[in-house]
Copies of this chain bind each other. A is one copy, B any other.
């Protein structure tokens, strides 16, 4: 069994609340991978209310890349379903602020950018199912190598909704066939964090020309006795929002997720 290395700066950040409070007081601005083991982490997208229905419908239409775990009321920084002591404006390590599709700020706190017409969307992320795979004894190469998972734009189009459209982005984990079969079983139990894989085997069938050249993340080796296994990825909604070039949007900074009070094990459907 492989376990992600705990980083020195993670000391004491063992719960969702501890991570959020550290972020809130400006004491933590790093990556959240490996923090608060067992707790659900999520991707963040904040959009003006005029786009909120179309984006929420986009997530409903595309649940594998966009598994929603929380949506705020308009103008409300709380998401009670994800934690009681919770402020989406301060509780992430770092944010990205976008205007007309351009990155304009990368702050630790978005209180100065907050508006009464904003809606926050939190989308499940692969950390949850990776924890389940590791606990099941399935080795994950990018974690062994200490790098980011490789991610690829595919030729699979998401179902569009209003201005939101674009290809599905997938992450890839090379697995021996028996581990791939078990990984399908394990991740099927977690539909709210991308669920079962969307493809395995020949990358070209989903429009990936060169498995050695990911569009995001790092390259990892696929050995002759392994299959590349592809999961829908939370970068999809980020890419779709970027392509839609809304007048205003806020997202998490890469790797700096919102850490919730939800337990990964409670996401299991069965």
Contacts and interface: CB of A to CB of B under 8 A. Distances in A.
Nearest to A119: B53
A174 B255 CA distance: 48
A182 interface: no
B81 A159 contact: yes
A73 interface: yes
A57 interface: yes
A43 to B, nearest CB: 15
Contacts of A159: 80-81
A208 interface: no
A53 B161 CA distance: 13
A99 interface: no
Nearest to A57: B71
Contacts of A162: 73
Contacts of A49: 53
A57 B60 contact: no
A152 to B, nearest CB: 25
A61 interface: yes
A58 to B, nearest CB: 10
A199 interface: no
A216 to B, nearest CB: 27
A195 B53 CA distance: 25
A182 to B, nearest CB: 13
A270 B269 CA distance: 9
B53 A60 contact: no
Contacts of A270: 185, 188-189, 269-270
Interface in A60-94: 60-61, 68, 71, 73-74, 80-81
Interface in A184-207: 185, 188-189, 191, 195
A117 to B, nearest CB: 12
Ranked nearest first, the 9 interchain pairs of A and B with the lowest CB-CB distance are A53-B53, A188-B270, A52-B53, A56-B56, A57-B71, A269-B269, A60-B71, A60-B68, A191-B269
